[in-house]
Chains A and B, each alone.
Chain A
């Protein structure tokens, strides 16, 4: 049983009732899987906690005010359908992406992404599921957290981390493009430009710090946007 299945189980999404039952049975009978699931739970719990940061009270008040204004204004406008075309199982795609070799320096060559994988993923899609958006959020949060926690002088660790982020980012970009979400695909491509530069050998610590701050800002903005759009869809802010 792979980590993606356990991640779906954690989010209570992307699995049929039978598949969920099979995971539950496995967790009850296999201590190894149960231990792995505990680790995944801790990591995903931390991801949730990591997005909460203390802000000055006056700023929070202003945010609340602007959010309230946004709610009042947006509720008066007709809602646009958002993200529904992206909805499909993303875990298989991520798993496949991990098997794909990438070349830092030769950025975003579409030929590096296994073309054979994507149609299957799309075929397996559940158009009513928000699994893709959720997967994308996990990818963005993991990227944000990983970059923030990995010191600039841990060169080997950072390179590995960046390669993993680029792989996943590239896959989400590809899928977004194919599922008629060009705006998201464009943003993900722009992230890759920054990620590739961050992974370059000749980058100075100062430049890396500046670029990382920029990337984290943009990741946060897109996360907020995704959260807002999902809330719009479900009617919850």
Chain B
């Protein structure tokens, strides 16, 4: 690493007054001398060190707020009515309040990832030692692009990651403090802090994945990572089944270790939901994946798990209640969710297993992953024969009788986030036709608000799951387990065509499963862009949803395309924390291809990415505060993010205005001239109403000022083609993206030239673009 504590280790020290053994002293920090990269201007940046960069972004991409509530209710002087530009008792207005809430969300997300990373690092250091080397793969020399760029250090061993986490924790504390009543007053400065929180979040993501890849032997930047099974039907329910849910792999990994030690493979199933499922299959692909986070209720109520192990993040907080209904014990393993259960970490394993098997207690808190692993396996094996897969989902034959209790009030539909036609489905089911009810599961996010709303106590979600039971049991697909990082050699191969625009873009489908119309839309979008020879990558629940849909050839995307980071390929990097490799890939292009220094040089790298790397993040079902934090990190790095319609509930977009010419000037680094480059990329945070709109926007947001004419022509081909196919028209803003006649796609020449003539278009220069005056190589006199 480049910046670390000065450490003095003495094996044995004899003095006049004492004999000291194994003395270790750490003093301050020193910069590593062996790293040839010059230290940049902002190693370990404070909250305000990158503010000038943020203000540049926020001037171009201004916030558009859509308040979720007219009020502020955060202090006892309120509630305060903030309508009609009124200010609250503290002086804050509605714009300030919205940006403050956005910052709180970003801090929640960043702190969650940081706490996750801290737990992993502490545990793995305890197991393998501080000196356990960072190893991200044979072809990966730039092992930690985000940490290098933000912190200015190169982590060599697990112990180095502690310094990084110290920094992240201090920054989150500073940021959260700014949200207290009577602190920050400017919405734009709140937004700058949001961007800082996002950048810190990316640092934490990278720490977490480096730690687990290095110490737990996950695939190391492997395009050909093994395939694992995914889907309801992939789980062999004739065996005792352990369900693991959450994001922190340690307990699930310990379960696999215990099974391995006891030679129990083939006798017990371990199936995961959400990112723990990704990471346990990275650890051992014999584990299986049930599906994304919205699969929790349907799987539990179907009675398939004999024991449930929860770790942290995105777990349903009624799991204990649901588990009790199917007579399955629960082990909670994280201090983030103790679930009101007794802490049995220090107890004898025999006693814990006996208590769980007898049903004396519904669950336990065990904070030692290894102990949790052993208890889980032993308990599941004993509980399984007693439970006989007891379920709460009614049999298909019972649906009609239950549905007849419906009074047709429509409250279920009014509670449904996707406004599904539940009353109609229930009414038809009452008459014996369950087809519509069954179809609803395709668009259902599994929240069960319909049940909470039903005045007649109808288990609406369970009825839907029952109706779709046959198709659920047939869910069985394959998914390539998370590959981890991107190899330096892959970056070398694609760096030039990406920056010149000849690979039309990098599209990352990431995030949660709060989809407006089910996961199939994400799969369709992903395959469209793979076919168009974009570089397409994925992570998290999106990577799972994409696996669960077959194309016309009866194959899913993992079976149809290679897993490389290359044009026309589709990769899964892994869990939420593996998103760091996607942002990291953009940074590595600046480093490996363009030889830009990363070391503490965030602003220059972000300027490079914004102006040259045509990357877009798509979080079609983004739901969580963590997703908000990840997106915020992308924005500061210059990567636009597209969300689905539910993403509007993040209550703030960052939108460019293509009609304002002055917003789209950059410096030509060769001359210092200010040059109009058109709205590329047009937005930083954008919500699309439909899949079709998202696809058109993704293609458009891949355009960058640095594109060569050949590259721009390729990108325009995709933009115009998708616009025509999905909207039925040629885009009316094409003149803003054609800089020179050579940018015009040959196959669309006549059509586009006609439009350009109508718009009074004139040729313009293609600059060496930058927003940073300090990067101008020759100033104009």
Co-complex (A, B): no
Chain A residues with CB under 8 Å of chain B are none
